[in-house]
Structure formats: C-alpha cells, structure tokens
Amino acid sequence: MRRAKVLLGFAALGVYWGAWGAALPAVQDRTGATDAELGFALLLVGVGALVSMRATGVVMDRFGPKLTPLTIGALAVSGALPGVAASPLQLSLALAVLGAASGAVDVAINADAVRKEVASGRPLMNLAHASFSAAVVVASLATGLLRWAGAGAPAVFLIMGLVIGATAVAVRPGGGEPWIPPPVHERPSLFQRVPGWLLVLGCLGALAFWIESAWQNWGAVYLERTLDAAAALSSLGPALFAAAMTAGRLGGNRLLQHWSERTLLVTGSAIAGAGTIVAAIAPTSAVALTGIALAGAGCSVLAPTVLGIAGGAAASSERATVIGSVTTLMYLGFLVGPAVVGGVADVASLRISLGSVGVLGLLLAFLFAVVQLPERRR
C-alpha cells in the first residue's frame, strides 16, 4: 500500500472525529440528552471500539489491506447515525455502533502503516498520526463554518460521510500491491495468548493515552473554571493541544531518522509531564496554554511510536492482530483517564488532579528508559 493511501486512511478518521467534537453541542441539543446521558453515550464509543479492535486485527491478518476500505466505508455509514438520533437512547445505540466502526478503522490503518514502515525501512507512524491530527483541526474548523452557516447535525455528518466514503474508494489496494495470506497454521486466532512484552507495551501506551485524554477532555474546563478564562479563550486549549500534536508528530517522524525509539519515547514523556505540570500550576491562562502546547508536543510521539514498536516486533503473519491487541490495551487509558481526573478533582481540585497527571508523565519517561523494549524483526 502506497504511503499516500496510508496517510489518507488516517486523515479519514481525523475528519470524522474533528467534525464530531465541533458538532457535539448540536447533537446534544437535537437528542435532548442531559450531561449525564451524554456522558454515558460517549462511554459506549470506547466500549464499541474495545469490542472490535482485536477481532479486526485477526481478520486483517487473513485478508490483508483490502479490509481497510471496508472499515472506512463502515465509518462513513455509521458516522451519520449520531446526526439523525432524536433521543438519548438512539444516540447511545448509534455511538456503540460508531465506536465499533472507529475501532476497526483504527486497527486497519495502523496495521497498514506498520506494514509499509517495515517494508520500506523508513519511519512512517508519526507522520501518519500527524495526518490524523491535522485532519482533526481542519474538520473542526470546517464544521464550525458549516454550523455558522446554519447547517444542523444531519447535514454536517452527511457531508463528512461523503468525504470519508470517497476516501474509502481512494485507499483501495491497487493491482501492484499483492497480498499473500499467511499459511493456515500461522494464522492467529481471536483467543490466543497475548505475549508478556505486548502486555507491557500496551500498559505503557495506556498511560500515554491517559495523559493525552486528560487535556483533550479537561483542558477547556480547566481554563474556564480554574483560571476564569472566557469561553472563546478556553476553546483554544483543545485546539492548541491538537495543533501541537500535529507539529510534534511531524518532528518526531524526522527525529526517528537519527534517534532511537527509546530516546524519542523518554524525551516525549518528559516533555509531556513537564508541560502538564507547568499548565497545572500556571497563574494565568497564557502560561497554562504554553504548558498545554508543550504537553501536546510531548504526547504526540508516544502512541505512534509504541504502535510502531509493537508492529515491528510482530511476525508478519500476526502483525495486525498484535496492533489490535496493543490498541485495545491502550484505549483503556482513554476510558479510565478522564474519569480518574474528574474523581481526583472532586476530592481535591482540578489543579492537583492535572498536576498528578504531570507526575505520571515523568514516571512514564522513567519506565520507557528502563523497560526492555522488543526488537524489530528483520
């Protein structure tokens, strides 16, 4: 699969989630969901993804890259469901289906990226994830313009669905991209044992996602409620974090031409932890935004590098299954992290809660420095 097709796959996923974040208020208004009902519905996105991820990897190891456009097509169709939901129950069901489709796409595109990276010997994972982050920013701005022009949730998700559907067609493997399925005796199964090194990588990746999700979910709330920032200024928190993620991943892809993966992981974790602490103790919104940008730049390289290590260490016959397994473990950080931040904030304060996330980032840097990482297969 050509590099451009890999980048398009990541962009398709970014387009949807960028549009989703910007259109979420319209979805809540249309369904009449309370904050608690919306929170439960959003939890089902993660649940749906967890259910589909490893299964997608097992299927992809049998059928290869031709599965990727099918998963993207499923995202285009299922992604329209939240836009037409008219009640909290309908929204919950729609988000469970959407989560399963999104999880399948996540595994498929990462497996494609790792396969291409291993085959070419050139870094690609951070660049691919930068494509996702950039698409999130562009889709968020485009959705804002659509809503400003009077478009409702159904129209927004219909337009995004058409864009994603066109991408599904564009990423179809060509005739020059043959796929040779592994022998029957080498094909992985859904319930086979997960090796210890993969469990360790998945847990480290979950901690990285924990830090990332903390700012994605709580950044605007922290700026507005703790530092008394205006709503327009507080919205810069998630946007700046996403922009820093894009820039960091572009830089990380170049650094891997000279640095080892361990060095990049340790450096990224340390910067993420330090930036988070700066933001948590910031006396003003300007200082907090600086810390958030640093945290985004540091976090940016962690997940793609962990996925690249896992996929590179796997046998070619089970590479997608390994990606599906490690992604499932990592997503637990996305599910648990925001809830723990909220719980600690309720007991102490949001400053203390986010400061503890910064300490977690420094701990992660230490773990990446001392944990034995698997070697890439040649």
Q: What is the mean pLDDT of the chain?
A: 87
- The predicted structure's pLDDT at residue 225: 82
288-302, 310-324, 362-376: least confident range: 310-324
pLDDT digits (tens, 9 = 90+) for 304-361: 999 999 988 887 778 888 899 899 899 888 888 877 888 888 888 889 999 999 999 9
CATH of span 1-172: 1.20.1250.20
The pLDDT-based confidence of 45 (bands split at 50, 70, 90) is confident
The residue among 175 and 309 whose pLDDT is bigger is: 309
Q: Would the pLDDT of 185 be above 60?
A: no
Q: Would the pLDDT of 283 be above 80?
A: yes
Interval 350-378 mean pLDDT:
91
Q: How far apart are CA 315 and CA 336, in angstroms?
A: 31
The CATH architecture assigned to 195-378 reads: Up-down Bundle (1.20)
The pLDDT-based confidence of 273 (bands split at 50, 70, 90) is very high
CA dihedral 294, 300, 301, 304 (to 10 degrees): 170
Torsion angles phi and psi, residue 349, rounded to 5: -160, 165
The pLDDT-based confidence of 219 (bands split at 50, 70, 90) is confident
Cα–Cα distances in angstroms (integers) from residue 298 to residues 45, 132, 232, 249, 274, in the given order? 26, 16, 25, 9, 9
Q: How far apart are CA 153 and CA 205, in angstroms?
A: 33
The residue among 365 and 177 whose pLDDT is bigger is: 365
The residue among 119 and 97 whose pLDDT is bigger is: 97
Q: Would the pLDDT of 368 be above 60?
A: yes
Domain ranges of the chain: 1-172, 195-378
Chain-centre distance of CA 168, in angstroms? Answer: 19
The residue among 49 and 230 whose pLDDT is bigger is: 49
Q: Would the pLDDT of 109 be above 90?
A: yes
Q: How far apart are CA 363 and CA 277, in angstroms?
A: 13
The pLDDT-based confidence of 20 (bands split at 50, 70, 90) is confident
- The predicted structure's pLDDT at residue 24: 79
Interval 165-181 mean pLDDT:
78
Q: What is the DSSP letter of 186?
A: G
4-8, 178-182, 260-264: least confident range: 178-182
Q: Please, are residues 301 and 265 in contact by the beta-carbon 8 Å criterion?
A: yes
Q: Please, are residues 56 and 107 in contact by the beta-carbon 8 Å criterion?
A: yes
Q: Dihedral of CA 33/38/40/42: which sign?
A: positive
85-89, 150-154, 182-186: least confident range: 182-186
The pLDDT-based confidence of 4 (bands split at 50, 70, 90) is confident
Torsion angles phi and psi, residue 86, rounded to 5: -120, 5
- The predicted structure's pLDDT at residue 182: 63
Within this chain, domains 1-172 and 195-378 share the same CATH topology = yes
pLDDT digits (tens, 9 = 90+) for 73-95: 999 999 999 999 999 999 999 99
pLDDT digits (tens, 9 = 90+) for 227-269: 988 866 776 787 788 889 989 999 988 898 889 999 999 999 9
Task: Return the percentage of the chain with pLDDT > 70, whole number.
Answer: 93
The pLDDT-based confidence of 133 (bands split at 50, 70, 90) is confident
Return the top range by mean pLDDT from 111-120, 174-183, 187-196. Answer: 111-120
Q: Would the pLDDT of 178 be above 70?
A: no
Q: Would the pLDDT of 377 be above 70?
A: no
- Which residue's entry shows tokens 């493997």? 173
- The predicted structure's pLDDT at residue 353: 92
Q: Would the pLDDT of 147 be above 70?
A: yes
